[in-house]
Amino acid sequence: MTAIHSTERHKGFTLIELLIVIVILGIGASLTLGFITNPIKAFTDISRRAALTDQADTALYRMTRELRQALPNSVRITSNGTRVTIEFLQIRTAGRYRAKGAGDKLNLNQHADTFDVLGGLNGSGSVVSGAAGINNCLNGASDCLVIYNTGTSATANNAYQGDNVATIISANATSMGFDNGAGSGQAFPLASPSQRFYVVQRSVSFVCDLGTGQLLRYAGYGLMAGQPINDADFGVAGSLVTDSVNSCNFTYTPGTNSRNGVAVMNLALSQAGEQVTLLEQVHVFNSP
C-alpha cells in the first residue's frame, strides 16, 4: 500500500511579524496624531485668547464710555487688599445758568431758588426731581445740581462732601429749581466762571476684586465723603462686568488749566494658561 504525502503548506503570519506590524502602525498613528493635535490645540488657544481679548475690550469700552460722563474733578481711586476701585459721579446733562441780564438769575446765596437755563437743557425730561431737602440728593432719591466742582474740600467745592450740591425739585428745557431745605445754608459757595452747572444722576464705582477674579460695577448709591470699596460700603449689589480677572490697575492724573484729566486702566484676563492684557487711556473733561 503506497502512502500519500501532501505537499501543501499552511500560509499565515508569525507572532513576530504581527508585532512588527503593530509597532509600525503605532508609530504611524502617533505621527498622524501629532499632525492633527497640534493644529487643533493651536486653534483652541487662539480662540481662547480671542475670547479673552473681546471680553477685556468690552469691559474697558464700558468703563471708558461711562468715565467720559464723569463730573469734572470727581474721579477718585482707592485700594484695599485684593480690591481696587475707581469711582466717579456720573452726569445726566449739563447747561449754563443765567447770572446777569433780564430774566430769572441764579442766586448763589440761597438754599433754594429757580433760574433760567441759557440755550435750553438737553434731556430735561429725564432729570429726576424730588422733594426739598439736601438728603434727597445725597442719598440718591433725586438728581443733584452741582456748580463749580473743584474736588477739593479746602475751597468747600467737593461734591462728595455735599459742599456744592443741591436737590433738584423742578426741571424743564428753560428753567430749573432746587431746594436744600430750610436751615441748610448757602447751596453753592462759589460761582462758575463759565456759568456752568451739572446734573448728577448717580455715583458709579468699578471694583476689581482679585480675590474672586471679577470686575464689578456698583451704581445708584448716594454721595459719600469716604470712598466705598467693600460690598457692605455701597449698600447696593454689584453687577458683574467680566470675570477671569488676573490683575488690574487704575490710575488718574488730575487735569490742569491746559489739559484734561487722564484715567488709565490696565486689565489682564487669564484662562486655562492663556492671558491677555489690555490698556486704555481716557481723557476726562476737567473744567468745572
Q: Is the pTM of this model over 0.95?
A: no
B/e letters for 44-63, b = 16+ CB within 10 Å, e = fewer, are: eeeebeeebeebbeebbeeb
Q: Contact at 8 Å (CB) between 164 and 190?
A: yes
- Contacting residues for 28 by C-beta, under 8 A, at least 6 apart: none
The answer, yes or no, to whether residue 65 has pLDDT greater than 90, is yes
Q: What is the pLDDT, as a whole number, of residue 129?
A: 95
Closest CA to 158 of 75, 68, 236, 252: 75
User: Above 80 in pLDDT, residue 191?
Assistant: yes
Note the pLDDT of residue 40. 58
Q: Which DSSP string do the residues of 179-224 spell out, in sequence order?
A: E--TTS--S-SS--TT-EEEEEEEEEEEEEETTTTEEEEEEEE---
**pLDDT on residue 122:** 94
Q: Per-residue pLDDT for 102 more than 60?
A: yes
207-261 pLDDT per residue, tens = 999 999 999 999 989 999 999 999 999 999 999 999 999 999 999 998 777 788 8
Percent of the chain with pLDDT over 70: 88
On the question of pLDDT at 96 being above 80, the answer is: yes
Using pLDDT thresholds of 50, 70 and 90, give the confidence band for residue 99: very high
Q: Which of 231, 230, 234 is nearest to 222 (CA)?
A: 234
